Structure 1
Amino acid sequence: MTPVDEAGTNAETLSYAAGPDQPSLLDETIGANLERIAGCYPDNDALVECATGRRWSYAEFNAEVDVIARGLLGLGVGTGDRLGIWSPNRAEWTLVQYATAKLGVILVNLNPAYRSHELRYALNQSGCSVVVSAPSFKSSDYRAMLDEVAPDCPALTKIIYLGEPSWQELIMAAAEVPADAVARISATLQPDDPINIQYTSGTTGYPKGATLSHRNIANNGYFVTETIGFTEADRLVIAVPFYHCFGMVMGNLGCTTHGATMIIPSEGFDPAASLAAVQAEHATALYGVPTMFIAELDLPDFAGYDLSSLRTGIMAGSNCPVEVMKRCMTDMGMREVSIAYGMTETSPVSTQTLRDDDVEARTATVGRVHPHVEVKIIDPSGNTAPRGEPGEFCTRGYSVMLGYWQEPEKTAAAIDADGWMHTGDLGVMRADGYLTIVGRIKDMVIRGGENVYPREIEEFLYGHPDIADVQVVGVPDAKYGEEICAWIRLRAGAEPLTAKALRVYCRDRLAHYKIPRYVILTDDFPMTVTGKIRKGQMREESITKLGLQPG
């Protein structure tokens, strides 16, 4: 008998899917998992830091994690305390990540791009008692900012600077703590305990602290890399920041749950350093957001790098242009590269393409639902939409966060009574269960009553021979409500592109209401440190540049 929903609709035609229930979920804490994996693969490379030449086997990495954990205990840091980490990608970031996990200390990820007011808010909202920080990075003087905000953070009692005497004091404090202290504490922890707070980069108001458990992030890291066939033989270049789920979950935990190798190519993203790391370390996998892969492919000496060891990787964090994806598969040799989709609040991945999917599925969709996860697309009334119809993407399962730290009302607004996380993303589920993301609900442009999805226009404009990258936003218009504005980065040597010339290119290829009225040429786009485009900021800047302010 064919199942039907309450309205009598054939359930197989609805935008709902549940992932497989195998392999089983990891029912252990992050610390217990590291202990188990280190016992299985003690001599495997666990961590490599290219800039310094430092490397750790799993046995060495696990031992050093324990030293740092004992040092934290020696400084009075204990289970349930919040420890902020403020640093670019360094080996110590990863060591602290696992040391806090073994103690049940909640790691608070501080965005390396924070300024003083953002830092002050995150430290106070989370109640951090300790901060581990780099002294500085690029133009950011972390020490000066911490000196500025510390008097306003009553819970903050200790600041530890990497590479300085305070870091050595942490290591020395370990000597005063019994060797079995960490193991005894780890044995008291549970997989559902909170272990990580990540602040979401909201476009309005203060960010919210997504609170994640061992179960959330250990399993998500495991299933992300399980989906691309990771084993203990894989070696991953992690060019994305650790402070974000892409780095610390999909990257670090994706590796350590399989006995694979974490490779840090540089402190901040450097396209040449990333490819050099692939070559030097014979990496099998590479992570990045689309802008990172574009930068790597555009290197003048790209053809000179030996990338023959690459087989896979993940492109995520932003819309993935079809042409860029295809070049990664051919020019970079990442024939099993995967697209992943998710958000911080879901640990982060909910859907992913498979490594043996055909080219169309791996370039035109964000894949199918992950194991042990449910997804659905809902219409504005909250009902499950028919397959093929756009609506809000919702997800439910082990990966949904515990909640926003100390913000029950905002948690309830995001996670409904049935446990569904409402993402705010517009998605479409195809008849075959594969999903596409057509944009954010707030990014959708309504021009003269027509719903316009920027992603569709962007994908079309990537085919223009002079366009290297493009982002589309809506801007206010007295007649149509909104109009289309395309921000365009031209290829090197291309002639400037006018709005009139672009409209000619689009004519007879796009519906008239989708053709950009405005063009803004740019060398870069406003984006977060993780490479996500700030479309809200682009819209505001477009209004100013085009003189569209009301009145």
Structure 2
Amino acid sequence: MNVILLLQMAADAAPDRIGLVCDGRRWTYSALYNAAKGAAEVFIASGCSHVALLDESSEAAPIALFGAALAGIPYVPLNYRLADADLGALLDRIKPAYLIGDVDRSNRLSSGHTCATRQEFVAAAEDSAENASGEERDGEGIAAQIFTSGTTAAPKAALLRHANLLGYILGTVEFMSAAEEDAQLVCVPPYHIAGISALLSSIYALRRIVMLPAFDPDQWLHLAEQEQVSNAFLVPTMFARIINRMDETGKQDLPSVKAIAYGGGRMPLELIDRALDLFPNTHFTNAYGLTETSSTVALLTPEDHRTAHKASDPDIKARLASVGKPLPTVELEIRDDEGKVLGAGERGEIYVRGEQVSGEYREKSALDAQGWFPTRDAGYLDADGYLFLAGRADDVIVRGGENISPGEIEDVLATHPAIADSVAIGAPSAEWGEAVAVAIVLKTDQMPPSEDDIKKLIKDRLRSSRVPEQIRFVDELPYNEMGKLLRRVVRLWFEG
């Protein structure tokens, strides 16, 4: 099976229904499908081995994704925010590619590609659609190749096969389940797995996709109102900016928005609590997943959100900080360093297994002999099966041979009324090898705590080994565009 099936089914079931809105243009499902068929012919004629997108979100993304699928060629969305040297290295790894988007930059950084601007590509796809056969070509079975962030080494090329993506969509989305007026606002970058899964799931549900090329809170609010958007996916930093903008403008509600999913980074409890109060009729979902798992593997459902929000029981209230329970189609375990499966409340590394789980890279597979994928995320399951994240396994602070989770320190700091955000990392220490260091963002409307206050808070709630040796107050913490905290940047602050 091939992901083109999702678009083909939508075009067959509702050919004249609007499937995509972008920059004022409205595409029916039949128009999208025909353009994808034309794109496949363009790709095959070019002799490319990969189809690369180096651009913001636009209609070119779904047309390229499905056109590449029909042609049997991997789709490779590239991070246009990368430095030239890093991007050039990735371009050299996918030669010869048919590249869509920033032609000048591509030609400057790497040779041997066929390049077209967004407008040139879409026009070529539409021109070729009339005589396109629509025949599905055999390939490697790879739908998408997504380069990892490469924070500690050269980026790996994560491979998502058609079977992985279809395993996720068919296992979580009901065909044609959206009403004709329903619309999904897509504002995450096209090179992120959330952007791809939003396209696939919306098309299969026949939910109109409203595309925002680059996130801006004012434009997001304008589009949500103009298109009467019903659904949206946001990362926490985007969500915070939207709520702040609503506060600044006095806007009180988003009446058409029925459901907001969020993920990709840590959601501050204060922010989701505020959102639940601000939007009492909106369904919130926390989605946890990775590129290598074809998006979501665990969900905190709307019912979970409301139950935890109203709960007086502290164990139930705590679930608001979890990412929910694994999907029915996914197996999930917590293991220690020796591979032993841990019980409820025990922290370890998260392992997942299922049809949607790829765990495969162009370089090698990361799956073990039983098909389990080590996520490198640390966490634990509570007694009721709710999954709590505790940062990356690589982020563990090793102080004098004792493993310390940064998450437990950050959770305690979050309870202080004057602390808006914080991060704990391991800083070099002559005595301990590593010692705890924290960077803290303070609220402007509260009395700031002293360093002694912070140390006492952590010592009283945890123990002395968790007390930071270094504390730094900063205006903001470094996050990337998807809301991921850049701990490597924070570590540089404490290297001296």
Distance in 2 (CA, whole Å) between partners of 1:468 and 1:271 is: 20
* Residue of 204, 218, 235 corresponding to 2:183: 235
Residue 171 of structure 1 deviates from its aligned partner by 4.0
**1:502-513 → structure 2 map (5 Å cutoff):** 502-503=454-455, 506=458, 508-513=460-465
CA contact (8 A) 1:379 1:385 kept: yes
Instruction: Report the equivalent of 2:371.
Output: 419
Distance in 2 (CA, whole Å) between partners of 1:361 and 1:62 is: 45
Cα distance change, pair 376–233 in 1 and its aligned pair in 2 (3 A)? farther
Unaligned runs of 5+ in 1: 1-27, 136-142
Does the alignment pair 1:147 with 2:100? no
CA contact (8 A) 1:395 1:421 kept: yes
CA contact (8 A) 1:308 1:333 kept: no
Does the alignment pair 1:370 with 2:317? no
Distance in 2 (CA, whole Å) between partners of 1:506 and 1:388 is: 20
**1:69-80 → structure 2 map (5 Å cutoff):** 69-73=40-44, 75-77=45-47
CA contact (8 A) 1:44 1:260 kept: no
Cα distance change, pair 275–491 in 1 and its aligned pair in 2 (3 A)? farther
Does the alignment pair 1:540 with 2:492? yes
- Tell me the percent identity: 28
Does the alignment pair 1:83 with 2:51? yes
Instruction: Report the equivalent of 1:24.
Output: none
Instruction: Report the equivalent of 1:394.
Output: 351
Distance in 1 (CA, whole Å) between partners of 2:201 and 2:215 is: 20
Q: How big is the alpha-carbon RMSD for the aligned residues of Structure 1 and Structure 2?
A: 2.7
What is the DSSP-based 3-state SS (H/G/I as helix, E as strand, rest coil) of the residue aligned with 2:190? coil
- What is the number of residues matched between the two proteins? 484
Q: Deviations over 1:431-465 (max 9, x none)?
A: 22221111211112233554332223323333333
Q: Deviations over 1:316-352 (max 9, x none)?
A: 1122222222222222446421111121111122211
Distance in 2 (CA, whole Å) between partners of 1:403 and 1:231 is: 36
What letter matches 1:201 in structure 2? S
CA contact (8 A) 1:499 1:518 kept: no
Instruction: Report the equivalent of 1:58.
Output: 29
Instruction: Report the equivalent of 2:389.
Output: 437
CA contact (8 A) 1:218 1:257 kept: no
Cα distance change, pair 374–130 in 1 and its aligned pair in 2 (3 A)? same
Q: Deviations over 1:148-205 (max 9, x none)?
A: 3224xxxx33111123xx4377347617x733x2x22x2x558x81111001112222
* Residue of 198, 211, 217 corresponding to 1:264: 211
Instruction: Report the equivalent of 2:403.
Output: 451
Residue 115 of structure 1 deviates from its aligned partner by 2.0
Unaligned runs of 5+ in 2: 309-316
CA contact (8 A) 2:171 2:329 kept: no
Cα distance change, pair 457–41 in 1 and its aligned pair in 2 (3 A)? farther
CA contact (8 A) 1:339 1:362 kept: no
Distance in 2 (CA, whole Å) between partners of 1:349 and 1:302 is: 34
Does the alignment pair 1:170 with 2:124? yes
CA contact (8 A) 1:322 1:459 kept: no
Does the alignment pair 1:314 with 2:271? no
Instruction: Report the equivalent of 1:279.
Output: 225
Distance in 1 (CA, whole Å) between partners of 2:185 and 2:269 is: 22
What letter matches 1:456 in structure 2? E
What is the DSSP-based 3-state SS (H/G/I as helix, E as strand, rest coil) of the residue aligned with 2:344? coil
Residue 421 of structure 1 deviates from its aligned partner by 0.6
Moved more, 279-288 or 123-132: 123-132
Residue 60 of structure 1 deviates from its aligned partner by 2.7
Cα distance change, pair 493–90 in 1 and its aligned pair in 2 (3 A)? farther
Residue 274 of structure 1 deviates from its aligned partner by 1.7
Bigger relative contact order, structure 1 or 2 (CA pairs below 8 A, ≥6 apart): 1
Instruction: Report the equivalent of 1:200.
Output: 148
CA contact (8 A) 1:313 1:334 kept: no
Residue 211 of structure 1 deviates from its aligned partner by 0.6
Distance in 1 (CA, whole Å) between partners of 2:451 and 2:287 is: 34
**1:14-413 → structure 2 map (5 Å cutoff):** 28-49=1-22, 52-73=23-44, 75-77=45-47, 81-134=49-102, 143=104, 145-151=105-111, 156-163=112-119, 166-167=120-121, 170-171=124-125, 174=128, 178-179=131-132, 181=133, 183-184=134-135, 186=136, 188-189=137-138, 193-221=141-169, 223=171, 234-249=182-197, 251-265=198-212, 267-299=213-245, 300-301=247-248, 303-304=250-251, 306-333=253-280, 335-357=282-304, 358-359=307-308, 360=317, 363-401=320-358, 403-405=360-362, 407-408=363-364, 411=365
**1:449-528 → structure 2 map (5 Å cutoff):** 449-492=401-444, 498-503=450-455, 506=458, 508-528=460-480
Distance in 1 (CA, whole Å) between partners of 2:161 and 2:292 is: 11
What is the DSSP-based 3-state SS (H/G/I as helix, E as strand, rest coil) of the residue aligned with 1:536? helix
Distance in 2 (CA, whole Å) between partners of 1:64 and 1:511 is: 61
Distance in 2 (CA, whole Å) between partners of 1:91 and 1:334 is: 31
What is the DSSP-based 3-state SS (H/G/I as helix, E as strand, rest coil) of the residue aligned with 2:460? coil
Distance in 1 (CA, whole Å) between partners of 2:34 and 2:226 is: 26
